[in-house]
Structure 1
């Protein structure tokens, strides 16, 4: 499988718009395929999806090629996605645990993936005043975008991942932090979805960590990673919004920078409770 031109079916199908996340636009379903614009991280994403197909990982779409309009063609992944407004089950703890298991399954599956020579992950450049990244070496090419919009559920459990656009080499603790960011959620309650504003966030962090099978060492690093990643994200989001515009700029204009600052303050206030929940016997 490679990224060559996709040969269309002889049977015509209409293009049905699909609701994307915060920045993905122009995604459509055509028959049993999904069409989306080729992003700046495409060389890595395409190599990653080919690898996942080769090893038989069932929790990701297959890359079929590039259509005549220059769009990626992927297999459509059937199931249920938590769009907006979020469904009531967004707070369900059994579904939460299944997210942790899916993230672990993905990380284990991709542990043997080697980025092809000449392929470089799409990353922001370091900027003046930008805090350092966590000092832990990369272990996997992580998905790093575990929003509710990007996890497909079947029969009440997380079954597949979509939208690998921000995949990059990271430590496993980064992957678990990213899942907690959206599913615990790690943010000021004022910025959480209404269905998640009164949940026990430290408890939900523990559920995700246990379901993932998080190591004791990574549990002890989680809060540190969360704070450092949050501080850096203010700079990276600002840079991407300025350089790429579109949905990124809209998010910045709508106040994502302020939400990041509130998240940082919330994490600092709640660090002890989260750390205690993760590391309790």
Structure 2
């Protein structure tokens, strides 16, 4: 679970310069400028499948234990899954070979929908670019893997979403993204979580292991295995990134 002490890594939104695109199209466009888009054959290789309707009642039950102070939660209590634009449903997002390899890995290992996995990968790449590479996409995804197994609706006490943002410690940031409902959104959760992680990196003088200990609230726990778990997952993800070869159209 993400750190619970607000004085350890208090900044839970990306630092100045971290503000940026918030839709799948904006992130795809930014990622596309940094990397060559995949061929049509590659896009077909990732089956995004059909969209399943979300169950708002189940989400409400899951978040019952993560309630914030009244002033930090929006008036509405319904928790609809953010709608995917029609254009996004109509065609697969274009993915570079390394991104496509990560999507396949996440889908097969964590039983995640391909569309959600693609969105997570695209957001992670864009957020990494916004940090100037100080936080890599592989690190963002590795933290997400350990924290929630890539489940956008995961809750653990008062920690919510992909990067298990500890809502009470960051109530102002949570309120800014629409309260607990906002933490269920893939892009918003990754943006807040990456911001918290960046602040932890700064507090640890950019020592990754030290930053991960802070993110997990285990700075004084010498027996914590959390940094090792994240770093092991990061190695796996980076191996996939470097081993995937471009697919030439036939």
Give TM-score scaled by structure 2 length. Answer: 0.30
| Greater fraction strand | 1
Give TM-score scaled by structure 1 length. Answer: 0.28
Name the larger-Rg structure: 1
| Greater fraction helix | 2
Using CA pairs below 8 Å that are at least 6 residues apart, which structure has the higher relative contact order? 2
